[in-house]
Structure 1
Amino acid sequence: MTLQSRLSDAFGEAFAALGHDATFGVVVESSKGDAPYQCNGAMAAAGAAKKRGEKLNPRDVASAVAAHLADNPLIETLEIAGPGFLNITPSAQALAETAQAISEDPIRGLSAGAELTIVIDYGGANVAKPMHVGHLRSAVIGEALKRLMRARGHTVIGDAHLGDWGLQMGHLISELAIEQPSLIYFDEAYDGNYPDISPVTMDDLARLYPQASNAAKDDADRMELSRVATADLQAGHKGYRALLDHFIAVSVEALKEGYGRLGVEFDLWNGEACVDPLIPDMVEELRHAGLAEEDGGALIVRIEREDDKKEMPPVMLLASSGAVLYHTTDLATLVDRKAQINPDLILYVVDQRQALHFEQIFRATAKAGWFREDQLEHLGFGTMNGTDGKPFKTRDGGVLRLEDLMEMMQTAAETRLTESGIGADFDPEERAEVARLVGLAALKFADLQNARLTNYVFDPERFTAFEGKTGPYLLYAAVRIKSILRKADDMGAAFGPIIPEDPAEVALVLALDAYPKAIALAAEKRAPHILCDHVYGLAQAFSRFYTNCPILVDETPEVIRASRLSLAKATLEQLEHGLGIIGLDVPEKM
């Protein structure tokens, strides 16, 4: 247990002993700095008493609580301020116990207790299309949440959920048929096995799709070719299904490389095509349950409720043409996940602009009885914008490829390293690797430090700064601690019990002690920015500690040096652990 949670328990017991609800005893970090912690429950207790017809002065409640806790060994001083705030200064004994627990395990107490099986859907990249800047936020937020939930002890499965179905596949097949009509996949009389080697590369796919899409926009006959190919594919055309398998395999290989460069990994590379065979039985089940009905030739599921304050369109199962739609494949994906994984929770990390779509899907799923609505969450996010306040584009108005964005950040990091004189004596290969890590940290932290729904402006110069709340600042803080520990090792200096006496030492111990709470809150609210706030605050607390508490100078007594080295080591372990969750890798030197 953290010191804050121990204090909350003590205050909760005090409130309960005085006839109040124990929840009024919650202790929080102080906002004014008069003391490390405060309890604001006296006002709430007086308010609750007033509702019961009793008259209580909040300061009197606070005084009674303070009197009840007068001899508590966790508390050094307990002062009443304002209308009834209780300012709490922990005792030396409590600080020593907390420091010892941190020294033994700087990342203790992260488990959520009850283990859940969680699926996180956070990819959404399309087959045959290169990754672009629009894939950044879902990837880094989803990966951080996956790692965060795993740190809490849950079983977490990340699913890329590829876009590999629909008209885009018809475009590719028909365009390939125009260019290479002699391919065996287009021979209607062929009845053998198809080649294992793909007839197209990722470069071919990246060319074929826009070529077909642009042609179809201005030519109705060309669009009809794509529509027919799409219908034939979905009807089970063997040659087209074999081509689709090639398209998917080639694309997944490229996507694994692209996501890998971003430090993102998936457990499943499933797509919409995977669940197509499930759709007929699913539709029949919905018909049989009386949930699916005909409407203007289409098949729909009505999901509106009497208390809706806005129009809620129905879920579209089948178009009037009989074609399946996004609603259909997303519902079939839920059927598949129920059968294959049976998760306790599914999180969708998808652009906030898709909120209506997911509300429709969740309602239909609950009506069908496959999942409860509280088992399905859409975790929307805002956009990364240019200086014009609109979603980031290239100078000519196009969508920037993700690999180009990452190269842009690495170049900005190299410039910043040169300006700062950092790594000037590194060999070219080592320096390039540091620049890669710095650029990636800058990009990811700039995204994750924002609340999910917040839009933010892309600013490479600000993101790569080694001062302020940035990824590079955090990497440098961790590398500096590594350097201190290496020097200590060269000196033969020993580690010892942490003795928090200086205010900066106490502040660092309390910052370290807040880690379990930050992890729990970030997981509960699905908010990686809370963890970003913690690691940044921890780095700042260490900086103040390092400035005020010399470690390796000759004047520092051996016992104090041993204590401060242990505090530095604990800080590094927690800092690296937290940075690892948000996807930042710390180099050995900078």
Structure 2
Amino acid sequence: MKMLIKKISNIVEDQFEQFGYDREYGTITISNRPDLCQFQCNGALSAAKQYKKAPVQIANEILEELKKIEAFQDVSIAGPGFININIEDRFLTEYINEMYNNKKLGCDEVPNPKTIIIDYGGANVAKPLHVGHLRSAIIGESLKRISKFMGHNVIGDVHLGDWGLQIGMVISELRRRNPDLPYFDESFQGDYSKEAPFTIDELEEIYPTASKLAKTDSVAMEESKKATSELQKGRRGYVELWKHILNVSVADLKKGYGNLNVHFDLWKGESDSQKYVDGMVKYLKDNNYTSESEGLLIVDVAKEADTHIIPPFIVLKSDGASLYSTTDLATIWERVEEYAPDQIIYVVDKRQDLHFEQVFRCAKKTKIAGEALKLEFIGFGTMNGKDGKPFKTREGGVMRLQDLIQIIKDAVKDKLQENKSIDFVEADEIARKVGLSALKYGDLSNQATKDYVFDIERFSSFEGNTGPYILYTVVRIKSILRRITEEGFQYSNKINTPYSNVERSLFLKLSKFNEVVELSFKDKAPNKICDYVYDLASTFNRFYHDNKIIAEENIDKKASWINLISLTMRVLETGLDLLGIETPERM
């Protein structure tokens, strides 16, 4: 289903072409003065220089033909040559009815779907999720949903930090606590227990203890490095311990991400790329991509046109050990071999910008990533407290994600207590959904690259540009539709031409849905959907306050309004779902 603005643009473009001008000058935009008109064309001003005519002369030529177009109610010239356009209600209503009867609300799936891998989440095993994991998870999840809605084959990968020194720290700490466990006996030949020798709570206490000790005790650090090395060389007992760490951690992480309504197609980690490292290094050496510098094996990724220093990509350390960069490059190798993607998107803290620039340059230079494969880094900003610093607990520590979710859930639940008809169990589930809407919308409504201030009071408000406000709008429509169903009202599936200016505004706002979704996908910007659903909710509420829908006595008008608000609800719910936000039945 073609976008409304493109349908209008095509009409105007035809007229520009008919008079010998380039079609591009007929492009239409939403009017920046909605009090004057709905759409505008500024092409006459741009064409004037090329065709050596006054803008108003070009505009007048086009105007006379546009006045003959049935789809246009009113066309006029403003200023030096702006063409102002209002479309006929009938034309707009036909579009809204087509949208109403379209399963995807006017959004066509792409004709040539791509395979897109989105790397988001990035949690480390043996550690609980904390607020630092929030943005990657919810931005990545929304991008995945938007891309799938567009018809692409999308693979979401959590890409766990499950290989490296932190695992060695955990293993060495376990040995200090329980040296008699068979995992530490190299002569042990029996079967290891299927049950982990620790719980998730114990594991989450073990890592910070081990990390703190290693930072202050050189012996403990050496033990951790040795354990890491022996694990990576395949020591049997350590490999089994690592599997226990991974299994216990992943089970907990799935629960934690599930509480955010965030889900991954792949639960792979750094360790999955290890089997590719040796072959990749051999390939790099055999094709003369590498050189040595101070004992390091590197790939020079600097370019003559660089305006800032780009350090070389380090493949291996002087002792032959791989690094985080090696793992990331090997992961691209793995993804190309196993999934043949057209695009890989990384949703990671923007402070890793230089790292990913090095990785991408190396992947392209060495042809690990072919010319057609697009590598994209979406660096997100920091979630800060009201003091402008990264969000912390009151004690100054890093807040666990489950604690943050509980805090905002409780804030919402307090507000729900005003509705005495909701029982305790139902209130808890509603508070979960509304709380997550506050948390997610508060984050996603900001441009991903920007830092933002996390304000519980503002985010959890039922008024203003917030998740709860939009959910309340959806619930309001659901309440109307339930009452209509209860009264047994019969109506046809048709929306009439608008009866008022505010209803016309609602039509126009609804018609933009496919345009917004496509733009959000193109720009990788969930905040554009946030802006749209808020504007739509606000426009609907103005319509709602101006009209007594249930009490309307004109049956034809009432039926049309019921269909209109049903369409509005579908669009709002779909938009919220693309943001990873669930809607309750009532609030």
Normalising by structure 2, what TM-score?
0.97
Q: Over the residues paired in the alignment, what is the CA RMSD in angstroms? A: 1.3
Q: What is the CA-CA distance between 1:192 and the residue it aligns to?
A: 4.0
Could you give the per-residue CA deviations for residues 491-528 of structure 1, whole angstroms, max 9, x where no partner exists? 22233321123112211111111000000000000000
* Conserved 8 A contact 2:129-2:402: yes
Alignment of 1:141-152 (within 5 A): 141-152=139-150
Pick which of 352-361 and 5-14 moved more. 5-14
Alignment of 1:304-323 (within 5 A): 304-323=302-321
Could you give the per-residue CA deviations for residues 348-367 of structure 1, whole angstroms, max 9, x where no partner exists? 00011111111100000001
User: Which residue of structure 2 aligns with residue 212 of structure 1?
Assistant: 210
User: Which residue of structure 1 aligns with residue 374 of structure 2?
Assistant: 375
- Gap regions ≥5 residues in structure 2: none
Alignment of 1:340-351 (within 5 A): 340-351=338-349
User: Which residue of structure 2 aligns with residue 424 of structure 1?
Assistant: 420
User: Which residue of structure 1 aligns with residue 93 of structure 2?
Assistant: 96
* Conserved 8 A contact 2:333-2:369: no
Q: Tell me how far apart the structure 2 counterparts of residues 316 and 197 of structure 1 sit (CA, whole Å).
A: 39
User: Which residue of structure 1 aligns with residue 383 of structure 2?
Assistant: 384
Pick which of 36-45 and 527-536 moved more. 36-45
Alignment of 1:157-556 (within 5 A): 157-372=155-370, 375-418=374-417, 421=418, 423-496=419-492, 497-499=494-496, 500-554=498-552, 556=553
Is 1:44 aligned to 2:43, yes or no? no
Q: Tell me how far apart the structure 2 counterparts of residues 272 and 464 of structure 1 sit (CA, whole Å).
A: 37
Alignment of 1:128-147 (within 5 A): 128-147=126-145
Helix, strand or coil at the partner of 2:265: coil
Q: Tell me how far apart the structure 2 counterparts of residues 259 and 145 of structure 1 sit (CA, whole Å).
A: 16
Could you give the per-residue CA deviations for residues 264-283 of structure 1, whole angstroms, max 9, x where no partner exists? 00010100011112101100
Q: What letter matches 2:576 in structure 1? A: L
Could you give the per-residue CA deviations for residues 303-334 of structure 1, whole angstroms, max 9, x where no partner exists? 00010000000111111122111110000101
* Conserved 8 A contact 1:263-1:583: yes
Q: Tell me how far apart the structure 2 counterparts of residues 576 and 327 of structure 1 sit (CA, whole Å).
A: 41
Q: Tell me how far apart the structure 1 counterparts of residues 329 and 192 of structure 2 sit (CA, whole Å).
A: 31
Is 1:566 aligned to 2:563, yes or no? yes
* Conserved 8 A contact 2:313-2:358: yes
Equivalent of 1:74, from 66, 71, 79? 71
Q: What is the CA-CA distance between 1:262 and the residue it aligns to?
A: 0.4
Q: Tell me how far apart the structure 2 counterparts of residues 210 and 3 of structure 1 sit (CA, whole Å).
A: 56
* Conserved 8 A contact 1:39-1:87: yes
Q: What letter matches 2:509 in structure 1? A: A
- Identity fraction in percent: 45
* Conserved 8 A contact 2:105-2:571: yes
Helix, strand or coil at the partner of 2:446: coil
Q: What letter matches 2:350 in structure 1? A: Q
Q: What letter matches 1:394 in structure 2? A: T
Q: What is the CA-CA distance between 1:109 and the residue it aligns to?
A: 2.2
Is 1:579 aligned to 2:586, yes or no? no
Q: What is the CA-CA distance between 1:286 and the residue it aligns to?
A: 0.4
Q: What is the CA-CA distance between 1:195 and the residue it aligns to?
A: 2.6
Q: What is the CA-CA distance between 1:430 and the residue it aligns to?
A: 0.4
Q: Identify if the C-alpha distance between structure 1 residues 387 and 231 changes in structure 2 by more than 3 Å, giving closer, same or farther.
A: same
**4+ residue runs over 3 A deviation:** none
Is 1:3 aligned to 2:4, yes or no? yes
Q: Tell me how far apart the structure 2 counterparts of residues 432 and 215 of structure 1 sit (CA, whole Å).
A: 41
Q: Tell me how far apart the structure 1 counterparts of residues 92 and 223 of structure 2 sit (CA, whole Å).
A: 74
Helix, strand or coil at the partner of 1:200: coil
Q: What letter matches 1:578 in structure 2? A: G
Pick which of 7-16 and 155-164 moved more. 7-16
* Conserved 8 A contact 1:350-1:379: yes
Q: Tell me how far apart the structure 2 counterparts of residues 527 and 185 of structure 1 sit (CA, whole Å).
A: 48
Helix, strand or coil at the partner of 1:12: helix
* Conserved 8 A contact 2:346-2:376: yes
Q: Tell me how far apart the structure 1 counterparts of residues 17 and 6 of structure 2 sit (CA, whole Å).
A: 16
User: Which residue of structure 1 aligns with residue 52 of structure 2?
Assistant: 55
* Conserved 8 A contact 2:475-2:584: yes
* Conserved 8 A contact 1:112-1:520: no
Q: What is the CA-CA distance between 1:103 and the residue it aligns to?
A: 2.2
Q: Number of paired residues?
A: 581
